[in-house]
Amino acid sequence: MRYELTDLRVFMAIANAKSLTNGALDMHMTAPTASYRLKNLERAMGASLFNRTPKGMALTSAGETVYRYCQSVLSNIDQLHGEMRRYTSGVVGQVRVFANSSTLSQLPIPLSRFLAAYPNVNIDLEEHLSDETVRAVHDNMADIGLVASVVHLRGLESIEYGHDELVVITVPGHPLTKRERVTLDMMLQYDIVSIGRNSSNFLYLQQMANSLSCHMNVRVHVPNFGAALRCVQEGVGITLIPATLARPAVEKGLVDWVRLDEHWTLRQQMIVVRSFAALPDYVKAFIQYLQDYSTEDPNAKLSI
């Protein structure tokens, strides 16, 4: 069997409109032309696809089967056209970015500004632990790495563009907040609300807990930091997130925070690359957007 895509689209238009005339109008063609197209398709299928009724065109059983598959076929064709436009509409570059969860949380605004300013450049963004990110840049699997901790840079070039601190978030009046600082083993005595089990935030916390041979009782894994804050606010448990993200909720009195007495909670936000000089201009521009936003953002250099 061979089918014309136009015939399939005409068939779908008639089925959706339940009318040959209105379906033809939707396809910007005359009714006789639409009828001819429909007959071609029915001939190719070897079955009648519609019953003509006083209320309009009703699908036969064969027509319902064709309709179901046409939805999938035409959807895939439209997606294919969208993908191919990347190669025919002047896409001139792609930036492969690996980042950990802390740096990801501050990316939406500078990333959106960059994509709006550079419509012919795409961003391929993945979340990984900082060590994995450094390794990916070193092995040329990523163009840029955004890391938020002290890691071995494997000879890569780096610049610092901001910093943050991971803090323990609790309900107001929680016993931990009566202290100026708490240790990780003290934190892990309480139920934990964690970001997703595959997130770099959770994986790193799990590593630190294992290094102390501490058990971590995770009540729930949630998709993002905002959801974690909400769960803490409702009394589900405590969580560990960047101070920049917690600050608005703390200022409103919805939650409280306390510092964790661990050196790794202080997070230098660094951009790592193999060679800044060798980067394409559009990658350098993306880095500049990150730096500019860090300077602009009043929370980027938060102290608590």
Model confidence pLDDT, tens digit, residues 104-116: 877 888 999 999 9
Three-state secondary structure call for residue 144: strand
State the pLDDT confidence band at 229, using cuts at 50, 70 and 90: very high
List pLDDT tens digits, range 24-57.
Answer: 998 888 999 999 999 999 998 899 999 988 888 9
Task: Express each pLDDT in 261-287 by its tens digit.
Answer: 988 888 788 999 999 998 988 999 999
The answer, yes or no, to whether residue 87 has pLDDT greater than 80, is no
Full set of structural domains in the chain with CATH: 5-87 (1.10.10.10), 93-153+274-296 (3.40.190.10), 164-265 (3.40.190.10)
Does position 146 have pLDDT exceeding 90, yes or no?
yes
**Global pTM value:** 0.55
Report the pLDDT value the prediction gives residue 300, as an integer from 0 to 100: 45
More confidently predicted of 151 and 68: 68
Residue 18 — left, alpha, or beta (φ > 0 → left; ψ -120 to 50 → alpha)?
A: left
* Contacts for 229 with CB less than 8 Å, ≥ 6 apart: 169, 239, 241, 245, 246, 249, 254, 255
pLDDT of residue 174: 96
